[in-house]
Amino acid sequence: MDHARQPVEPSAELYAELLDVALAAAEGAGALLDQGRPEHLTVAATKTSAVDVVTEMDIAAEQLIVRLLAERRPHDSILGEEGAAAEGTSGVRWTVDPLDGTVNYLYGLPSWCVSIAADVDGVPTIGVVEIPARGERMHAVRGAGAFLDGRPLQVRPAPPMDRALIATGFGYRPERRARQAEVLNHLLPRVRDIRRGGSAAIDLCDVAAGRLDGYYERGLQPWDYAAGALIAAEAGALVGGRAGTAPGPDLTLAAPAGLFEPLQEALDQLGAWRD
Q: What is the pLDDT of residue 68?
A: 97
CA 66 – CA 262 distance, rounded (Å): 40
pLDDT tens digits, one per residue of 55-76: 788 889 999 999 999 999 999 9
Q: Given this model, what pLDDT does residue 2 score?
A: 45
Mean pLDDT score of the chain, rounded to an integer? 92
Domain range 12-152, CATH architecture: 2-Layer Sandwich (3.30)
pTM listed for this prediction: 0.93
Domain ranges (residues) in the chain? 12-152, 161-269
Contact 142, 234 (CB under 8 A): yes
Per-residue pLDDT band for 225 (boundaries 50, 70, 90) equals very high
Structural contact between residues 237 and 260, judged by C-beta atoms closer than 8 angstroms: yes
User: What is the CB neighbour count within 10 angstroms for residue 262?
Assistant: 17
What pLDDT is attached to residue 13?
A: 95
In contact, 34 and 133? CB cutoff 8 Å = yes
Higher per-residue confidence, 44 vs 2: 44
So what's the pLDDT on residue 82?
Answer: 82
Is the pLDDT score of 242 beyond 70? Answer: yes
**Confidence grade of residue 48 (pLDDT, cut at 50, 70, 90):** low
Query: Is pLDDT above 60 for 46?
Result: no
Q: What is the mean pLDDT of residues 219-245?
A: 97
Q: Which fold, 161-269?
A: D-Maltodextrin-Binding Protein; domain 2 (3.40.190)
pLDDT attached to residue 174 = 94
For residue range 19-44, what is the model confidence (pLDDT) as tens digits?
Answer: 999 999 999 999 999 998 877 666 66
Instruction: Give percent of the chain with pLDDT exceeding 90.
Output: 82
CB atoms within 10 A of CB 12: 9
Q: In this structure, what are the phi and psi dihedrals at residue 204, rounded to the nearest 5 degrees? A: -65, -40
